[in-house]
A and B are shown apart, each in its own frame.
Chain A
Amino acid sequence: MSHDRREFCSSLGLLSLAATTGCEQLSSFLPAGVSDRDRPPGTAPTADEIDFTHHVLNRCTFGPRPEDRALLKPGFDSWLDQQLHPKDIVDPLCDRTIASIERIHQHRGELYSEDPRILLHDLVRARIIRAVYSRRQLLEVMVDLWTDHFNVAWSKGNCRWLKISDDLEVIRPHALGRFRDLVRATATSPAMLIYLDGHDNKVVHPEDKPNENHARELLELHTLGVDGGYTQRDVLEAARCMSGWTYGHSFMCAGVSRVGFDSGRHDDGAKEVLGVTIPAGGGKNDLEQLIDIVCEHRSTSRYVARRLARVFIADSPPDEVVEAIAASYRSSGGDIPEMLETVFGLPAFRENAGTLFKRPFRYLVSVLRATDADTNGGATIQKRLRRMGQPPFEYPTPDGYPLEAEPWFGSLLWRWNFSLDLLAGRIPGATVQGKELVRRFGSSDRLLAHLLGRRPTSFELEQMNGEDGISIALASPEFQWH
């Protein structure tokens, strides 16, 4: 008898249980030193409006931890300079924790022997742990940004095994590098080749039509943008440039999992993309030429600038803001750190404190950071993210989780329950020392100021007092924005 779905699911249930028991015990999962680490005094803002320090921590990190304001004491510029060089930041605690999630660090060929649902669980756990604990916070925020920009949904075919290498080897190494390198890496990422059908883009006989899916998304979503001025002809020509790249693996032979260029499946004729001619006979170099053409296109500078502006400044950024960032893209050759320096130097950045709606991932992580929670990022936390509608790596279509606020308003009930359950100790995968937190700030008023980014109003103090005051603050309308 062939597999029965219910049998299949119940065996998975057992497997994932086996994989997570033990790990669900916080103390046995966190490396020595995390749960009894130093918990320095908290510092809270003292103004009546959100100040610049809080604003920076809200936007350039996943939200302030109790002691984080001290990080910005030496000045924003030197802090930003450190954050733009994540390799130079020493972060042993988080690094050790990530290293202990051993399964995801195997070569992608080996991953095929693993149960994909457990791989997803481990990858999401690593994502949560990094967002909550990493000192390389700006890197984590950029990984979040590019993961949506170059969305690959875990649930399509072999992406179940391949999203891990896409995350660890493609997105993360380039998240604070050059945009061109990032696009190039995603273009032949095994997961992307499967997700957008690029692996099947071939021209063997002269009459063969290439598979346009990957080429279309490259232009529409990854570089020029839908209004970027390309035509259907450009999509076809780009698809011809990309033909012949494929991905193969062997279930029989663990470790055989590779991307290759098959000249027999490549259309080697002359092409013209966006007005630039690519002569015949270019072979695998056609892809390099194509990536150069699209990344040097003026529309790409604006399209990428607009995404940065939407994530860091305002959901509908003014044209001059987008143009200023685009100019930085063009002058730096798409250098992501230089563009970010431009973003954070704009008056519009300062002026838009508290105007972006937190998506569920950011909401959940910012709660865990603000309360200095101990978490293992495991199944119980992941279930909460799913209820809120943003489980990582599961957005089905190539455009990635939406940035705007409207699609997320339906998640309020699950946000409220998360904050109420967390402080009441009802979430096995995360614990918070509520009373200790108040003590570290010296008073509950100051703790509330830390949560809200400004001194609470008397009306807020009235609602946010008593036993569940912290939860109510975290569930309040104010905490949904950043």
Chain B
Amino acid sequence: MALKHGKSVAAQRRDFLSVQEQHQPVLVVVFLRGGADGLTLAPPHGDDAYHRARPTLAVSRADLHDLDGYIGLNKSMAGLMPLWENGHLALHHGVGSADETRSHFAAQDLMEHGGRIAGGWLARFLRSGSRQIGPLSSVAIGTTMPESLRGAPGGVVVQSVQEFTVGSDEVQSIGRLRKLYEVAEGPLGEAGRSTLDAISRLRRLRSEPGPAAPEPYPDSQLGRGMREISRLIHAEVGLVASTIDAVGSGLGWDTHFIQSQTIGDLMEDLAGSIRSFVADLGAHADRTRIVVMTEFGRRVSENSSFGTDHGSGSLMLTVGKELPGGAGIFKHFEGLSSDNLLGPGDVPVGKDYRHVLSDLLETVDSGYEVERVFPSLTQA
């Protein structure tokens, strides 16, 4: 594989990224840090036990969109209703992990590693799959690398696409590097050229403000971050997976205290950001899947501070045009009467969250090996 100089291979040049990686599926992982209350996001309003357990916090019929007579969608999440009506939204209720600590840190680690193993599930997916891995295959939006990407082939954490640059005099650097990589043979030459193409595309993206989003994003960290992901998808730079945290302000989803005062804004932000994101993607929405997850749900009964404490099973949302198993409601708990609950009164985990993820990953890369991503899942 040694390189020979002086030979022009420009004629043979092919943009392998555009052939292999354009129009390929993209996965966006939205993590609700803090343990989101699935029973408020998608209230089981048809269950009497729900209303008994939550005298002040139960979402009333007037404050939700009924979906199937038992489960509804909180009106603060109304941004998702168009997706629901088009059959592009699935609600997985009563899912979670084997975590028993009910500690944010332990539960997030367990969930993002995909079991009691080293490294992140998304990292293993990228390492073991058949998708072409380029410089922008996985991008975490934020300031720190999430554990799900621990050990990924390239750990890019950015707050904005503005950060993807090369050198200070970019035009000159790109020009010189292009000449050198133009004549480099083999896969390194191809990789160099596709990387230069990706930077050039991002460069155009940075210099142009681009069209305004068809539906304005919420002015929030999540909204701004989702817009950056949309720009990366539009730019066709080989993005396979992106992660973003929805943390809101204050204590975020960790609603121990006067939950009703804080969770509404968080839900509006979440649903509004997803709604704007999907609209902004336009035709790219067809190849984009979103999963919304959280480390655990919250206790069924409210506490004395009008909040809820750490629980177990919770809600996962998947969004996309052709979802594995279809759109709709997937309820994995029997009901909320106390004999159906777990431990201190939690929704039991009726389905391992990794099954939801593994089905979804199949649609992102049919060549991936589930036993490498979730080894303990396949043994079980």
Known: A153-B151, A416-B166. A407 touches B133 (CB 8 A): yes
0/1 interface trace, chain A 378-397, chain B, CB 8 Å (1 if under): 00000000111101001111
Interface membership of B95, Cβ < 8 A: no
Q: How far is the CA of A472 from the CA of B192 in the complex (A)?
A: 13
Please give the residue numbers on chain A whose beta carbons come within 8 Å of chain B beta carbons, in ascending order: 1-6, 8-9, 153-157, 159, 195, 315, 354-355, 357, 386-389, 391, 394-397, 405-414, 416-417, 420-421, 424, 426, 457, 459-460, 463-464, 468, 471-472, 475-478, 480-481
Q: How far is the CA of A168 from the CA of B107 in the complex (A)?
A: 31
Q: Which 6 A-B pairs have the closest CB atoms?
A: A396-B119, A153-B118, A409-B191, A396-B151, A156-B118, A477-B184
By the criterion CB–CB under 8 Å, are B1 and A355 in contact? yes
By the criterion CB–CB under 8 Å, are B2 and A396 in contact? no
* Complex contacts, B199 vs chain A, CB 8 Å: 413
Please give the residue numbers on chain B whose beta carbons come within 8 Å of chain A beta carbons, in ascending order: 1-3, 5-6, 33-34, 102-105, 108, 113, 116-120, 123-124, 127, 133-135, 137, 144-145, 147, 150-156, 164-169, 172-173, 176-177, 179-181, 183-184, 187-192, 195, 198-199, 247, 251-252, 254, 256, 310, 372
By the criterion CB–CB under 8 Å, are A413 and B34 in contact? no
Q: List 9 A-B contacts (CB under 8 A).
A: A2-B104, A153-B118, A156-B118, A396-B118, A397-B119, A409-B190, A412-B195, A420-B167, A420-B168
* Complex contacts, A416 vs chain B, CB 8 Å: 166-167, 173, 177
By the criterion CB–CB under 8 Å, are A410 and B154 in contact? yes
B76 to chain A, nearest CB (A): 22
Q: How far is the CA of A421 from the CA of B152 in the complex (A)?
A: 24
By the criterion CB–CB under 8 Å, are B3 and A478 in contact? yes
By the criterion CB–CB under 8 Å, are A396 and B166 in contact? no
* Complex contacts, B120 vs chain A, CB 8 Å: 396
B118's contact among A4, A155, A411, A477, by CB below 8 Å, is which? A155
* Complex contacts, A9 vs chain B, CB 8 Å: 144
Q: How far is the CA of A411 from the CA of B133 in the complex (A)?
A: 9
* Complex contacts, B144 vs chain A, CB 8 Å: 9
Q: Nearest residue in B to A49 (C-beta to C-beta)?
A: B2
By the criterion CB–CB under 8 Å, are B172 and A406 in contact? no
* Complex contacts, A424 vs chain B, CB 8 Å: 167-168
By the criterion CB–CB under 8 Å, are B151 and A155 in contact? yes
Q: How far is the CA of A341 from the CA of B190 in the complex (A)?
A: 37
B185 to chain A, nearest CB (A): 9
Among B102, B169, B192, B251, chain A packs the most CB atoms within 10 A around the CB of B192
By the criterion CB–CB under 8 Å, are A413 and B6 in contact? no
By the criterion CB–CB under 8 Å, are A156 and B166 in contact? no
Q: How far is the CA of A395 from the CA of B153 in the complex (A)?
A: 9
A4's contact among B147, B184, B251, by CB below 8 Å, is which? B251
Q: How far is the CA of A70 from the CA of B150 in the complex (A)?
A: 42
* Complex contacts, B5 vs chain A, CB 8 Å: 457, 459-460
B206 to chain A, nearest CB (A): 15
Q: How far is the CA of A481 from the CA of B254 in the complex (A)?
A: 50
By the criterion CB–CB under 8 Å, are B150 and A396 in contact? yes
A420's contact among B173, B180, B251, by CB below 8 Å, is which? B173
Q: How far is the CA of A88 from the CA of B119 in the complex (A)?
A: 39
By the criterion CB–CB under 8 Å, are A397 and B124 in contact? yes
Q: How far is the CA of A354 from the CA of B117 in the complex (A)?
A: 37
Q: How far is the CA of A414 from the CA of B120 in the complex (A)?
A: 22
New A-B pairs, 4, CB < 8 Å, besides A410-B191, A426-B168, A478-B3: A4-B34, A155-B147, A357-B1, A410-B134
A475's contact among B117, B123, B177, by CB below 8 Å, is which? B177
Q: Nearest residue in A to B188 (C-beta to C-beta)?
A: A477
By the criterion CB–CB under 8 Å, are B118 and A457 in contact? no
* Complex contacts, B134 vs chain A, CB 8 Å: 409-410
* Complex contacts, A457 vs chain B, CB 8 Å: 5-6
* Complex contacts, A6 vs chain B, CB 8 Å: 33, 247, 252
* Complex contacts, B192 vs chain A, CB 8 Å: 412, 477
B11 to chain A, nearest CB (A): 17
Q: How far is the CA of A395 from the CA of B144 in the complex (A)?
A: 18
Among A3, A8, A420, A459, chain B packs the most CB atoms within 10 A around the CB of A420
* Complex contacts, A475 vs chain B, CB 8 Å: 177, 180
Known: A389-B154, A410-B134, A468-B172. A394 touches B119 (CB 8 A): yes
Among B2, B108, B116, chain A packs the most CB atoms within 10 A around the CB of B2
By the criterion CB–CB under 8 Å, are A468 and B167 in contact? yes
By the criterion CB–CB under 8 Å, are A405 and B173 in contact? no
Known: A477-B192, A480-B188. A472 touches B176 (CB 8 A): yes
B181's contact among A396, A421, A426, A477, by CB below 8 Å, is which? A477
By the criterion CB–CB under 8 Å, are B155 and A386 in contact? yes
By the criterion CB–CB under 8 Å, are A463 and B104 in contact? no
* Complex contacts, B310 vs chain A, CB 8 Å: 2
A396's contact among B3, B123, B155, B156, by CB below 8 Å, is which? B123
By the criterion CB–CB under 8 Å, are B252 and A394 in contact? no
Known: A420-B168, A468-B172. A4 touches B104 (CB 8 A): yes
* Complex contacts, B145 vs chain A, CB 8 Å: 386
By the criterion CB–CB under 8 Å, are A153 and B180 in contact? no
A409 to chain B, nearest CB (A): 4
Q: Nearest residue in A to B137 (C-beta to C-beta)?
A: A410
Q: How far is the CA of A457 from the CA of B180 in the complex (A)?
A: 12
B168 to chain A, nearest CB (A): 6
By the criterion CB–CB under 8 Å, are A8 and B105 in contact? yes
By the criterion CB–CB under 8 Å, are B154 and A388 in contact? yes
By the criterion CB–CB under 8 Å, are A417 and B167 in contact? yes
* Complex contacts, B127 vs chain A, CB 8 Å: 396-397, 407
* Complex contacts, B105 vs chain A, CB 8 Å: 3, 5, 8
* Complex contacts, A387 vs chain B, CB 8 Å: 154-156
* Complex contacts, B172 vs chain A, CB 8 Å: 468
Q: How far is the CA of A421 from the CA of B166 in the complex (A)?
A: 9
* Complex contacts, A3 vs chain B, CB 8 Å: 103-105
Q: How far is the CA of A355 from the CA of B3 in the complex (A)?
A: 8
By the criterion CB–CB under 8 Å, are B104 and A5 in contact? yes
By the criterion CB–CB under 8 Å, are A472 and B180 in contact? yes
Q: How far is the CA of A155 from the CA of B146 in the complex (A)?
A: 12
A72 to chain B, nearest CB (A): 22
Q: How far is the CA of A156 from the CA of B127 in the complex (A)?
A: 18
A412's contact among B153, B173, B191, B254, by CB below 8 Å, is which? B191
* Complex contacts, A413 vs chain B, CB 8 Å: 135, 164, 166, 195, 198-199
Among B103, B127, B151, B156, chain A packs the most CB atoms within 10 A around the CB of B151
